[in-house]
Structure 1
Amino acid sequence: MVSSKSDLKVFYKSFIAIGLPLTIQQLVSSSLNFIDNLMIGRLGTQYLAAVGFAGSVYRILDLVIFGICSGMGVFIAQYFGKRNFESIRKIFGLMIRSALVVGICFAIFAYFNSEYIIKIFSKDPRVINIGVSYLKIVIFCYIFYAISCAFAYSLRSMGYTKYPMIAASLGVIANTFFNYCLIYGNLGFPQMQEKGAAIATIIARIVEMIAIVFIVYKKDFKLKGKLESYFNIPKDMIKEILRISLPVISTESLWILGTISLSVAYAKLGTDQAACVQIADVVSAISAILFMGIANSAGVIIGQTIGGGDREKVMFYSKQVIKVAFIMAGVCLVIVELLSGIIVSLYNLPINIYQIGVDTVRSYGILVFFKMINWAILIGIFRAGGDTKVAFYLDILPLWLYGVPMAFLGAYLRLPIYYVIFMAEFCEVIKLVLALLRYKSMRWIKDVAI
């Protein structure tokens, strides 16, 4: 029988120790995109929309790499619970190779198809020119970002969360400084506008990668080994990794494609409306910071507890995760609603677009409550439990069968953008109902470590 007092204390101590650095890292990482968005947005709505559209490639890359790393991270967390570092190093090596291949492929594809990518979202010649100019430069950061992610997710899965936070912080400092210098031409640097933002992002990702590789080299974490220790993965282990990871990768790929489809539908309402969506996306991302910390912290704790073989404690801990998620989702909802006007005022929007921006942010804010709880359950509990296939169905089917069709219907009817967003994102409510039903069945608990 789980001792409520003692295990509750252990849970929250671990949850805060792991989750706080993760939350700070998410804040720092999201700040990089927020700073780009804010600084380039002050040049006008065309710049804001164009860089946002170009950023869709990065968003897809980010989610695919997240799928790869979080899928393999399930194994690292559970093997860490068993103290099997030999297997951890093999998975770590596979994670780096996989993420690097994805980063290179995305960079090549985006470079040769940059104009076509921006034209998916807009027919405005000025927006297309700015978007292509930005995208053809920024794609070079994808490779550095892929390597950083593999190192960061491996450390996270073992509970070493403060080190990725440090590396990400250094990257944001570099990004902010060079954005200030290169976008506007300050401190003797040339004024490069969107090109300057792209170069600043590349520098930031290089700094972040160097920092986290150096940390692992110096601290070891039992990740260091001979070259062959990162290869020669047993066939049974590869099969199990593929069985668990492919649904995660598929989930993230189809989820981001669905999200991009929503952006395409929203963009059909015009450049100004698309710029408002970019602002709301940033606000949504900032609101999600806390919940990525919750989800990843929960994933580490639950994954390691399953690896330790204590099923009863897994259920006890998972109930605490859901409790925390509901409380913090309510807090985020209130904050977004109260600060929506202040946030939109930071951007250089025409007066007639300002109120549309505020209403758009508020629409996103209402749905933050449901979206964030879904992340905590689907990512923090189901994936860590090895129930990745069901998590795939719950995450993807409501989006594609309900959300995307409703977005295009709203765009076809020329409804205000904030109405269209609310109609489409209501799929999060459907997800939450289904996720809670799955959770109560307890069939999501699976020990995947061989």
Structure 2
Amino acid sequence: MRLLKYLKWDKVFFKNVMFITLPILMQSIVGQTLHLVDNVMVSQLGDAAYAGVAQANRYTMVINVMLFGVATGSSIFLAQYWGSKEISEMKKSLGLGLVWGCSLAFLMGLLGFFATDTIISLFLQRGESFNQAVIYLKTISPAFIMSAISNAYASALKSEEKTKYPMIAGIISMVVNTILNYLLIMGNFGFPKWGVFGAALATLIASIAGMAINIYFAFSKSLSGKANFKELFSFNKAFINKYNKTASPVILTETLWSLGTAVYSIFYGMRGDAAVAAMGVFSTLDGLTFIIIYAIVSATSIIVGKELGAGNKQRAELYAKRLTTGTVTFSVVIALIAFIFRYLLFSIFSNLSKTTLDYAMVIFIISLSFSWMRSFNSVLIVGILRAGGDTVASLIIDVAFLWFVAIPLLGLGTVFTALPISILYLLTLSDEVLKFIFGMRRFVSGKWAKTLTQRALE
């Protein structure tokens, strides 16, 4: 009952939350819907093609999550400097984020393009799905650098509470992707029927479009994004050390987390194409179902970070409690709705085998049962601890249990038992339970609320 007091109406607070969250939510809704459409189009090519794309996307997910970590690391400083109105420091944070992101994307893009067979062999045995995965990954590898630049400028806009502009860029990019998928996967309207290659090419072109639009909005609408070369890259050693001390644990967290989920995929791949395709279906529907949670998590980091940067520690802690309570409440409601309409959601994947859909259905229901806990962990680790600069604690909580509990359990279950894929997935949720226990202790302690800006400390 004590938590219910944080749901009491506060007009100013909720107006601010809605102002920031709605554009992020709208972008997520459109993105997940179009991603779903893309998956349905690829599923028309059969289980092998769908499994190949799903596993190739495990590598791209690793890269995208790492780039998200870079953008999040920059956002910690961008949001707090926005709260203290230190625009010159924001520009340096953006510049350092570009250096990190582009360097990482360039390296991983080279690996994806020139070592494609080696990478895919980690996820799939040689066969038709392997061949499709190689085609897909090699084609989209150049898109990583576009994503790095796009993420950096989108973070600058979001940190200044101008979330509608990344929303517009994201929606346009995703619409371009979907239209090109429709034309190039099945060869509609006289276009070549390129299958998996067409899907990858559509993603590459859409990434270029999204990058260009985000850069345009950053230079025309953002105070920090409107920076010349000198303003972006004039940081000294002290600034680099300060940035790296806080941001590098975030980047490491996302890297280890994404590599951990890639290890999951390696074990799932041992159970065949149907199991891999089932996890692909589940991932798509899971993302679609919980888009509002992800939007609130993004808004939380902006709102809490801004208050800490302005020196309002007590208000930041109050807002964190309100947003955490609201997120968990929303997650329960959403899970119930998703459970009621589960058959309708799965009907759109009718081209896949019954075995694949049966696997995916059980996994989806298990996931819904843990949705409140997963939502709490997300808003705490990504939204609150990082906003407060408590990045070392978030690193330990987020990945220690993944690597030392969940992955060993999954490995043992996969290699030494004949457990079904649904039970193997349940084993991976063991880390969520431990993250909840230790994350709650950190949250209640208040040690996460740190101020990084000089003006707030003066």
Deviations 1:207-244 (A, max 9, x none): 11111112223324353233211112132221111110
Provide the C-alpha distance between the structure 1 equivalents of 2:8 and 2:237, rounded to a whole number of angstroms. Answer: 41
Q: Name the counterpart of 1:314.
A: 316
Q: 1:195 aligns with which of 189, 194, 197?
A: 197
SS in 2 for 1:187: helix
Q: Name the counterpart of 1:356.
A: 359
Residues 1:424 and 2:428 are matched in the alignment: yes
Residues 1:407 and 2:410 are matched in the alignment: yes
Provide the C-alpha distance between the structure 2 equivalents of 1:222 and 1:125, rounded to a whole number of angstroms. Answer: 49
Aligned residues: 448
Residues 1:68 and 2:70 are matched in the alignment: yes
Provide the C-alpha distance between the structure 2 equivalents of 1:422 and 1:162, rounded to a whole number of angstroms. Answer: 37
Q: Is the 8 A contact 1:266 1:407 kept in 2?
A: no
Provide the C-alpha distance between the structure 1 equivalents of 2:397 and 2:193, rounded to a whole number of angstroms. Answer: 47
Structure 2 residues without counterparts, runs of 5 or longer: none
Q: Name the counterpart of 1:211.
A: 213
How do 1:367-378 residues align onto structure 2 when only pairs under 5 Å count?
367-378=370-381
1:193 shift after superposition:
0.3
Comparing 10-19 with 328-337, greater Cα deviation is found at: 328-337
1:298 shift after superposition:
0.9
Q: Name the counterpart of 1:440.
A: 444
Q: Is the 8 A contact 1:336 1:362 kept in 2?
A: no
How do 1:138-287 residues align onto structure 2 when only pairs under 5 Å count?
138-287=140-289
Provide the C-alpha distance between the structure 1 equivalents of 2:95 and 2:302, rounded to a whole number of angstroms. Answer: 19
Q: Is the 8 A contact 2:94 2:224 kept in 1?
A: no
RMSD (CA atoms) = 1.9
User: If the length of structure 1 is used for normalisation, what is the TM-score?
Assistant: 0.95
Deviations 1:39-61 (A, max 9, x none): 11121111111001111121111
Judged with a 3 Å threshold, the aligned counterparts in structure 2 of structure 1 residues 126 and 448 are, in CA distance, closer, same or farther, namely same
Provide the C-alpha distance between the structure 1 equivalents of 2:434 and 2:132, rounded to a whole number of angstroms. Answer: 38
Provide the C-alpha distance between the structure 1 equivalents of 2:146 and 2:155, rounded to a whole number of angstroms. Answer: 15
Paired AA for residue 418 in structure 1: S
Paired AA for residue 175 in structure 1: N
Paired AA for residue 379 in structure 1: V
1:414 shift after superposition:
1.6
1:397 shift after superposition:
1.0
SS in 1 for 2:343: helix
Q: Is the 8 A contact 1:305 1:313 kept in 2?
A: yes
Deviations 1:279-321 (A, max 9, x none): 1111222234222211111111111101111221112111101
Q: Is the 8 A contact 2:6 2:321 kept in 1?
A: no
Provide the C-alpha distance between the structure 1 equivalents of 2:296 and 2:11, rounded to a whole number of angstroms. Answer: 17
Comparing 187-196 with 135-144, greater Cα deviation is found at: 135-144
Q: Is the 8 A contact 1:345 1:354 kept in 2?
A: no
1:4 shift after superposition:
8.9
Deviations 1:185-206 (A, max 9, x none): 0011010000000111111111
Paired AA for residue 297 in structure 2: A
Judged with a 3 Å threshold, the aligned counterparts in structure 2 of structure 1 residues 178 and 275 are, in CA distance, closer, same or farther, namely same
Q: Name the counterpart of 2:392.
A: 389
Paired AA for residue 24 in structure 1: M
Residues 1:79 and 2:69 are matched in the alignment: no
Q: Is the 8 A contact 1:71 1:248 kept in 2?
A: yes
Residues 1:56 and 2:64 are matched in the alignment: no
Paired AA for residue 384 in structure 1: A
Judged with a 3 Å threshold, the aligned counterparts in structure 2 of structure 1 residues 342 and 409 are, in CA distance, closer, same or farther, namely farther
Deviations 1:46-81 (A, max 9, x none): 111100111112111111111111111111111111
Q: Is the 8 A contact 1:182 1:190 kept in 2?
A: yes
Paired AA for residue 205 in structure 2: I
Structure 1 residues without counterparts, runs of 5 or longer: none
SS in 1 for 2:451: coil
1:276 shift after superposition:
0.2
1:358 shift after superposition:
1.4
Deviations 1:263-286 (A, max 9, x none): 111111111111101111112222
Instruction: Give aligned-pair identity as a percent.
Output: 29
Provide the C-alpha distance between the structure 2 equivalents of 1:239 and 1:215, rounded to a whole number of angstroms. Answer: 30
Provide the C-alpha distance between the structure 1 equivalents of 2:380 and 2:143, rounded to a whole number of angstroms. Answer: 31
1:7 shift after superposition:
9.1
Judged with a 3 Å threshold, the aligned counterparts in structure 2 of structure 1 residues 313 and 163 are, in CA distance, closer, same or farther, namely same
Q: 2:20 aligns with which of 18, 28, 32?
A: 18
Q: Is the 8 A contact 1:287 1:368 kept in 2?
A: no
1:352 shift after superposition:
3.8
Q: 1:449 aligns with which of 438, 444, 453?
A: 453
1:361 shift after superposition:
2.0
Q: Name the counterpart of 2:43.
A: 41
Q: Is the 8 A contact 1:344 1:354 kept in 2?
A: yes
1:20 shift after superposition:
1.1
Provide the C-alpha distance between the structure 2 equivalents of 1:6 and 1:57, rounded to a whole number of angstroms. Answer: 43
1:32 shift after superposition:
4.9
Judged with a 3 Å threshold, the aligned counterparts in structure 2 of structure 1 residues 45 and 282 are, in CA distance, closer, same or farther, namely same
Q: Is the 8 A contact 1:297 1:380 kept in 2?
A: yes
1:132 shift after superposition:
0.5
Deviations 1:358-411 (A, max 9, x none): 112222322332212211011111100111100111101111111111111221
Paired AA for residue 300 in structure 1: I
Paired AA for residue 436 in structure 2: L
Deviations 1:2-54 (A, max 9, x none): x9999932221111100111122233344454333221112111111100111
Judged with a 3 Å threshold, the aligned counterparts in structure 2 of structure 1 residues 222 and 270 are, in CA distance, closer, same or farther, namely closer
Judged with a 3 Å threshold, the aligned counterparts in structure 2 of structure 1 residues 380 and 4 are, in CA distance, closer, same or farther, namely closer
Provide the C-alpha distance between the structure 2 equivalents of 1:304 and 1:240, rounded to a whole number of angstroms. Answer: 18
SS in 1 for 2:373: helix
Q: Is the 8 A contact 2:59 2:262 kept in 1?
A: no
